[in-house]
Amino acid sequence: MFLVTGATGSLGRRIVKQLRAENQPVRAMVRLSSQYQELETLGAEICLGNLKENRDIVRACQGVEYIISAHGSGGDTEAIEYRANIELIDQAKEKGIKHFVYTSVIGADRGYQDSPVFKAKREVEKYLVSSGVRYTILRPSGFASSLIPLAQRFKETGIYLVIGDTQNRSSIISTDDLAKIAIASVTKEGAFNQIIPVGGPEILKREDIAQIFAKLYKKDPIILNPPLFLLDGARNFLGLVNPDLARGLGTLRTLLANEFFCPPEEVARVEQIYDFKLETLENFLKRYVPAV
């Protein structure tokens, strides 16, 4: 039995679907307020609970063999990104769980002090590595699924918004590929006790993404490109009225101001461990936002 946290999120939902397609037993931890009917229909066991509550985590971990932590911070980094993962790891240790897959982020080890999420992920990584539980830490770059709404808007309007440097590079990972990798991590020996950066097969500048949209949807792109200092200004102002929200925006700023890509040797390592070819952004988008 797999436990998947964040089972209604863009990654978690795909993990649950793929597990059920393989007829694997899976427990999906979801909140009562989440949209989880689809997962239930697929045959996932629904475990209602909030990651802020330790007793819900303890209940969710009963009788599972594998844990895939795929939840997001939900606006409360300390409670959800940090403490909930620490509790999940403690439960994994106490209950002798066979393998723990943790979804971190590319660059978690770069010491971005402005981002609570990057800091929390690095601390969770360290805790997991020293826990004695068999693990795989995945450090994905940006998810292709995050671009679906942008592609949809582009298809309708031709508009593409880039905040900050249009030359910044990323290697967008197909969220479907990442789900497959997360699941395979519990059986592929090459993934045992490894930290694995996971990026797609192409290194793309942000302006290249507009060109991929243009090619797919046959529209000349109108690129809107506000400078990063506008975000800084808004953040400084917010800091006066809502310091917590201003701090939270540090993660967004970190993502916008830096590059997050995997060099070819890291892509080759992933393809070798998991034994399949990673798909391009264009391929992924054709499935989710078809041209016609």
Strands 66-69, 99-103: pairing is parallel
DSSP assignment letter at 141: -
Query: Would you say 5 or 99 has its CB closer to ligand NAP?
Result: 5
Instruction: From 69-77, 154-162, 219-227, 242-250, give the range in contact with ligand NAP by CB under 6 A.
Output: 69-77
Contact 64, 19 (CB under 8 A): no
Burial bucket for residue 160 (CB in 10 Å: 0-12, 13-18, 19+): buried
Site for ligand NAP contains 143 (CB under 6 A): yes
Give the H or E element holding residue 223. Answer: strand 222-224
Site for ligand NAP contains 164 (CB under 6 A): no
To 10 degrees, what angle do helices 116-129 and 243-257 make? 80
Strands 204-205, 169-170: pairing is antiparallel
Report, in Å, the least distance between residue 111 CB and ligand NAP: 17
Q: Using CB under 6 A as the criterion, what x/- string covers residues 48-67 for binding ligand NAP?
A: --xxx---------------
Site size with ligand NAP, rule: CB under 6 A = 24
Instruction: From 8-16, 107-115, 221-229, 241-249, give the range in contact with ligand NAP by CB under 6 A.
Output: 8-16
28, 61, 67, 70: residue in contact with ligand NAP (rule CB under 6 A) = 70
9, 107, 164, 200: residue in contact with ligand NAP (rule CB under 6 A) = 9
Contact 72, 85 (CB under 8 A): no
Instruction: From 9-17, 57-65, 154-162, 200-208, give the range in contact with ligand NAP by CB under 6 A.
Output: 9-17
Report, in Å, the least distance between residue 5 CB and ligand NAP: 6
Nearest to 183 by CA among 101, 125, 121, 71: 101
Q: Compute the distance between CA of residue 75 and CA of residue 52 in angstroms, rounded to an integer.
A: 12
2, 3, 4, 11: residue in contact with ligand NAP (rule CB under 6 A) = 11
Residue ranges that bind ligand NAP, judged by CB under 6 A: 6-12, 31, 33-34, 50-52, 70-72, 74, 80, 103, 105, 140, 142-143, 146
